[in-house]
A and B are shown apart, each in its own frame.
Chain A
Amino acid sequence: NPYAGLVSHLRASWLSGKTRPMEYRMAQLEALGRFLDEKKQEILEATDLDMGKPSFEAFFSEILLCKNELNVTLNNLCHWMKDEHVDKNLVMQLDSAFIRKDPYGVVLIIAPWNYPIHLFLVPLIGAIAAGNCVIVKPSEISKNTERLVAETLSCYLDNDCFAVVTGGVPETTRLLENKFDYIFFTGTSCSPPVGRIVMTAAAKHLTPVTLELGGKNPCYVSDTCDVTNVARRVAWGRFFNAGQTCIAPDYVLCTVEMQEKLMPALREAITEFFGPNPQESPDFGRIVGDKQFRRIQTLLGSGRVAIGGQTDEAERYIAPTVLADVLPSDPAMQEEIFGPILPIVVIANMDEAIDFINARPRPLAIYAFSCDSKVVNEVLERTSSGGFCGNDTLMHVTLTSLPFGGIGNSGLGKYHGKFTFDTFSHHRGCLHRNMGLEALNGPRYPPYTQQKLGLLTATFEVKRRGTCTLL
């Protein structure tokens, strides 16, 4: 077991209690902040080398959003760490009943390549805030970022308690043989199989997990809407990071009339964003690797190419593409696209769109666009997904007060903001009783009598207040 030494070293640090004091956690978090500030240029360069990530995008997702999470945590950690006192019944008025937030111990964070800093750093913030020791396993596919993290993170964090492990599938498999107290896994398009592998490995040690997976995020566009704004918001969400975003709108559902209206609006939005030749725009990314490039390229044989469709294998460039009249049986509708291709599937009306969505595995996000709020609410109410955004794309995950996670095949668990801290904490129910007043305990002890039963019922029962109106 090649990682046994590392894991037991971290476990020893954990048992020493080093990571528990708030001051320690704050200091480590502040060091992470310095990492983001001091290594900003290196992060922008590494992600550019890895997938042609435009600086603006990299700054937004890898620096700005991370700093937001860091600041929310630093500002609130003291409050989050406090014992949460709960209501007590009559008998316990002199006792103290509270929920204590205990760290789990040694946790593992496995990150993917598409937002390679953000997707390990944001969970790491919560794991440190909650008092754990952490092993971070960045993705080997974004190899420049992987090298950066492996080489520099150790200069900022306490090496007794935090470590970076690099490698591919064989290394991750060996790593998963060890016992961890929590495993946080974020995986990309082929997620279902890997998610299951991680959970199965976790089951051997009864390790709790959070799995942030993916799926095909539908985007319903109703007939009553401002086409220009819809086109911009959908294009932005789809083509950000060249489509390599777990919450990107994966496909559009709309009527044939709306498809007609949407197309020129999308064309205009794309030109507005990336100019007449997106390949020359500094604001449009590239596909991360040859294997992924070839996979996405084959999806172009779906429906008909209405916008874009150009590719350049040498650069791993795929133009911002919109496919019209795509059929449910087409290749683009069989898997999460994870690329800059937006298929439009024509449906007759909202009911058909909702049925279409509900016939498929529950996605990470659902989007609905309409000027009529009733339409948006109906789509929301009649479907199920990790999260939902009405009249925009991606934005629900930038609000740290909203939980971010999937359901069913799109994942289990949630994080962001306080939810990350809660994910990496064990919520321990604690009751601190008085040694006196033993007489009050009398009714619970044998030998039992009817009288005792009456007393017990009186003190323990929750009386139902008059709320019969619902019936």
Chain B
Amino acid sequence: VERMQQVVGRARAAFNSGRSRSLEFRIQQLKALERMVQEKEKEILAALKADLHKCGYNAYSHEILGVLGELALTMEKLPSWAAPQPVKKNLLTMRDEAYIGYEPLGVVLIIGAWNYPFALIMQPLMGAIAAGNAVVVKPSEVSENTARLVAELLPQYLDKDLYPVVTGGVPETTELLTQRFDHILYTGNTAVGKIVMAAAAKHLTPVTLELGGKSPCYIDKDCDLAVACRRITWGKYMNCGQTCIAPDYILCDPSIQSKVVENIKVTLKEFYGEDVKSSPDYERIINQRHFKRVKSLLEGQKIAHGGETDEASCFIAPTILTDVSPESKVMEEEIFGPVLPIVTVKSVEEAIEFINHREKPLALYVFSNNKQLIRRVISETSSGGMTANDVIMHSVVPDLPFGGVGHSGMGAYHGRHSFETFSHRRACLIKDLRLEAVNKLRYPPGSLEMMHL
């Protein structure tokens, strides 16, 4: 407890010194972060390889390219994001200054996840720094190599007191959550999300919760199946299915189910070759516990493709399940693994009803040539975000807010949304001390005539 108190206390003292507030300072820290990513690329890729068996290309494109892009965008836009925003005035305030000022919140806590362990620390971190805050960083202990690297690298490049890294597991995180923060951004699962929000409630700390759920993927009969299935295969099996916005399950008409399976099989061969296990581009499940969890979802299911597993290397082959029952275990929890269930529905209405009777997902996908149908699916459902005719991609558009709704989370970030999440928008009205005559209208003694003015 003492250690946590000290770390957070130091960060708060550093914030109170005021040095994180100037734009120059913030950009200097962001530039240092950029240098860190560029200079330590090899080490970062090695940590990701050790944690997730992620190949260089995937690691670079998922966790470095995006981070560098967002850093560049943040540094470029920061002056305009941070500028006070004048607002529309009314008759009474015509002669006054009225604007919204962007101010830092104070000390922010960022809790990362293990599936994109570097990016899920870096992206929130850069937004929090850009907004002028002190930040306590808590990487996930499950991706231990990346956690260790982050703990080593950040103090080498950033202000040590303002941006401390705290490592550890559940007990350490629980202790950390008893401290007072001015905002907490947590990426992880729904169950822990509730714990984080309850802890935040004790201090009235606002939270951004990036959680998960089962992201549905509806494939209409009227669509280019080859293209649709290639895109779905890419999004589903990247990072061995361990992506919060992966298409979790497919909804489609029974008449196209076997064609969907065929198309995915063809694409899998194209991507990973005949022997997936020996492809350098295919990842592994993060650890034994998750391996066992995902494997157990296969029990009693009709395996149309894949199903091979190897416990020693946490390998699970890209797997497709057909005619899955909505009540089965694989349809209960977020899969977070390379297992793709297909649930058949007779119409888009049935698909929409199916989706709406479950918790709101983080992402929603629909494939169709019919624009009307797509518009209908968007309007009649809700989800954190969505992409039509592709998967994952809404999360790389920098100006789209990235976040959940309902059980998939609250709040959003990415790009300017990160800056706004970590800022306080303060309403400012500056009046003149003269011109008292106008004010007389509102002072007592009031009268009926005044009321009708």
Residue numbers of A with Cβ under 8 A of B are 15, 17, 20, 54-57, 59-60, 86-89, 92, 97, 99-100, 102-105, 181, 192, 195-196, 199-200, 202-204, 206, 208, 211, 213, 225-226, 228-230, 232-233, 236, 272-275, 281-284, 369-371, 373, 376-377, 380, 384-392, 395-404, 407-409, 411-414, 426-436, 438, 441, 444-449, 452-453, 456-457, 460-465, 467, 470-471
Contacts and interface: CB of A to CB of B under 8 A. Distances in A.
A429 B387 CA distance: 8
26 contacts: A89-B397, A195-B204, A199-B204, A202-B197, A206-B409, A232-B443, A236-B443, A273-B444, A369-B433, A389-B430, A390-B430, A391-B431, A392-B429, A396-B98, A398-B90, A399-B98, A399-B427, A403-B100, A412-B204, A444-B234, A447-B271, A461-B65, A462-B69, A462-B70, A467-B76, A471-B28
Given A88-B397, A441-B231, A407 B424 contact: yes
A225 B436 CA distance: 13
A332 B36 CA distance: 52
Contacts of B270: 445
B10 interface: no
Contacts of B405: 102, 104, 426, 428
A444 B70 CA distance: 19
Interface in B419-446: 424-434, 436, 439, 442-446
Interface stretch (B137-145, B220-228, B341-349): B220-228
A208 B398 CA distance: 24
A248 B444 CA distance: 16
Contacts of A453: 57, 60-61
A431 B427 contact: no
Contact of B271 (A99, A204, A445, A462): A445
A232 B441 CA distance: 12
- B-side interface mostly: mixed
B100 A402 contact: yes
B206 A435 contact: no
Nearest to B424: A407
B402 interface: yes
B429 A388 contact: yes
B204 A431 contact: no
Contacts of B72: 461-464
Given A203-B201, A411-B204, 13 more contacts: A54-B444, A283-B445, A283-B446, A369-B433, A385-B426, A386-B427, A395-B429, A396-B427, A397-B427, A408-B106, A428-B384, A448-B56, A462-B69
A378 to B, nearest CB: 12
Contacts of A460: 65-66, 69, 396
Contacts of A435: 223-224, 227-228, 367, 369, 389
Given A102-B405, A213-B204, A384-B103, A430 B394 contact: yes
A220 B432 CA distance: 15
A24 to B, nearest CB: 14
B57 A452 contact: yes
Contacts of A444: 61, 234
A461 to B, nearest CB: 5
Nearest to A57: B446
Given A99-B400, A401-B87, A448-B57, A60 B442 contact: yes
Interface in B89-124: 89-90, 92-93, 98, 100-101, 103, 105-106
Contacts of B303: none
Interface in B365-392: 367, 369, 374, 378-380, 382-390
B444 A283 contact: yes
Contacts of A390: 428-431
Nearest to A396: B429
Given A199-B201, A461-B65, A206 B447 contact: no
A447 B75 contact: no
Contacts of A204: 194, 198
B266 interface: no
Contacts of B406: 181, 206
A385 B380 CA distance: 40
Contacts of A395: 92-93, 429, 431
A404 B87 CA distance: 13
A388 B394 contact: no
Given A272-B443, A273-B445, A464 B75 contact: yes
A444 B61 CA distance: 9
B230 interface: yes
Contacts of B431: 389-392, 395
B286 to A, nearest CB: 20
Contact of B204 (A87, A211, A275, A436): A211
Given A192-B204, A196-B202, A283-B446, A446 B281 contact: yes
Contacts of A446: 271-272, 279, 281-282
A373 B434 CA distance: 13
B427 A402 contact: yes
A285 to B, nearest CB: 11
Contact of B400 (A371, A386, A429): A429
Nearest to B195: A203
Nearest to A87: B399
Contacts of A432: 374, 387-389
B197 A408 contact: no
A392 B70 CA distance: 41
B312 interface: no
Nearest to B386: A430
Given A428-B386, A447-B279, A462 B393 contact: no
Given A273-B444, A283-B444, A199 B200 contact: yes
A125 to B, nearest CB: 18
B57 to A, nearest CB: 4
A100 to B, nearest CB: 7
Given A17-B380, A199-B200, A229-B436, A461 B69 contact: yes
Contacts of A181: 406
Interface string B194-216: 10011011101110010100000
A102 B397 contact: no
Nearest to A365: B427
A97 B395 CA distance: 11
A152 B229 CA distance: 56
Given A446-B272, A448-B58, A387 B427 contact: yes
- Of the candidates A56, A204, A376, the one having the most CB atoms from chain B within 10 angstroms of its own CB is A56
A429 B433 contact: no
B387 A433 contact: yes
B55 interface: yes
B393 A456 contact: no
Given A17-B380, A399-B98, A465-B76, A388 B410 contact: no
Given A104-B405, A226-B434, A396-B427, A281 B444 contact: yes
Contacts of B66: 460
B284 interface: no
A208 B410 CA distance: 6
6 tightest A-B CB contacts, nearest first: A56-B446, A429-B400, A448-B57, A283-B444, A86-B399, A199-B201
